[in-house]
Amino acid sequence: MATKVLERKPLSLAERSYLPQIVGGLKITMRNMLKPPVTLEYPDERPEIPVGYRGVPTLVRDPNGREKCVSCQLCEFVCPPKAIRITPGEIPEDAETAHVEKAPKEFEINMLRCIYCGLCQEVCPEEAIFLQDIYSVTGYTREEFAFKKEKLYELGGTLPDKHFKWDKKKAAEEHGNPHH
């Protein structure tokens, strides 16, 4: 096994006089002083947020404006700090998206509880909940931090759908083949 014994020498007379350290230390300080600053002037300069950043969880609509969430409550179940509260609701029979059957009546994510772990996004079977790159949420009261459905959709916006499975289902039903 490769072990490396870290030997140490006692300080030499010169080293005991502090002088070489002061000179050497100042050299390092000078070198670092001439380097460009490493800090950001925060509110004016913003850090670059990489793709896939786990910020505020939001709800998204599909390109046709349909709420993607079907209120299966899986995200509510998996959320470790229990930040999500969902009240499922029916979609009215005469609505254009009636074939989806369910949508959340109320959907609330408490941003003070959320730990931005991303598990909700991972388990969602509808790709309806996404963590966005918003990282500074501010407010004056605790109530403000419990984001309601409207706010979540507003932050989430629209996301392209890869599968359009509900549209396919509707088309199949119209063709008299409800199992495809």
Partner 1 sequence: MAVKEISIGDIGARAAAADEEFKGDEMVINMGPSHPATHGVLRLKVEVNGETVKACDPIIGYLHRGDEKIAENMTYNQFIPYTDRLDYIGPIHNNVTFAIAVERLAKLEVPPRCQAIRVICCELARLQSHLLGAGVYGMDTGALTVFMYTFTQREKLYTLMEQLTGARFTTSYTRIGGLARDIPEGWLGHVRKVVDEMEPVLDEIDALLSRNRIFYDRTVGVGVITKEDAIAYGLTGPCLRASGVPLDLRKDKPYCGYEQYDFDVPIGTNGDSYDRWLVRLEEMRQSIRIIKQAIDKMPDGPFYAEEAKKIFAPPKKKILTSMEELIQNFMIVTEGPQMPPGEVYFEAENPKGALGFYIVSRGGGVPYRLKIRSPSFCNLSIVPKIMPGHMIADIPVILGSLDFVMGECDR
Q: Which residues bind partner 1 (CB under 8 A)?
A: 1-8, 11, 15-16, 18, 20-21, 24-25, 28-29, 32, 38, 50-54, 72, 74, 77-78, 80, 115-119, 122-123, 125-127, 131, 162-163, 165
Residues 108-127, one symbol each (x = binds ligand SF4 by CB under 6 A, - = not), give: -x----xxxxxxx---x-x-
- Which window, 7-15, 90-98, 107-115, 132-140, contacts ligand SF4 (CB under 6 A)? 107-115
In this structure, the number of other CB atoms found within 10 A of the CB of residue 74 comes to 18
**Amino acid (1-letter code) at residue 78:** V
Are the C-beta atoms of residues 81 and 50 closer than 8 Å to each other? no
> Least separation, in Å, of the C-beta of 128 and partner 1?
11
Q: In whole angstroms, what is the distance from residue 72 CA to residue 101 CA?
A: 11
Side chain identity, residue 17 = S
Binding string, 41-80, against ligand SF4, x = CB under 6 A? ----------------x-----------xxxxxxx---xx
- Is residue 84 close enough to count as binding ligand SF4 by CB under 6 A? yes
Distance CA 33, CA 47 (A): 23
Is the alpha carbon torsion for 151, 154, 156, 158 positive or negative? positive
CB contact at 8 A, 111 and 137? yes
SS3 of residue 156 by DSSP: helix
Please identify, using beta-carbon distances, which residue of 73 and 97 lies nearer to ligand SF4: 73
- 28 binds, options partner 1, ligand SF4, none, Cβ within 5 to 8 A by partner type: partner 1
Smallest gap from Cβ 12 to ligand SF4, in A, equals 57
